[in-house]
Amino acid sequence: MKSIINLLANDGYLIYNKELAHKVGVHEAIILGELISEYVYYTNRNELTEDNMFYSTIENVQKNTALNEFYQRKALKHLKELG
């Protein structure tokens, strides 16, 4: 029982914007939240490229969101379609 409580109490939670999820989709909101979080991380470390970009991998996003490559690509495609 204690290991279950420790697992649930750790930082393993994923937070996403519910209002955004209603407008663009849950996976899309999760991807945006993760990418914004990474952007802030790299900004705070002054590690953005000259054009304010950063590099992230499918594996990294999957580790942080549990969204596999299929759902990541699908969500990113939908976000691009929405502009």
- Average pLDDT, stretch 32-43? 95
pTM of the complete model beyond 0.75: yes
CB 33 within 8 A of CB 16: yes
Identify the band that residue 13 occupies on the pLDDT scale cut at 50, 70 and 90: confident
pLDDT value, residue 2:
65
Residue percentage of the chain with pLDDT more than 90? 82
pLDDT at 16 over 80: yes
pLDDT value, residue 4:
73
46 — alpha (psi -120 to 50), left (phi > 0) or beta?
left
pLDDT value, residue 9:
65
Separation of alpha carbons 83 and 71, rounded Å: 18
CB 36 within 8 A of CB 79: no
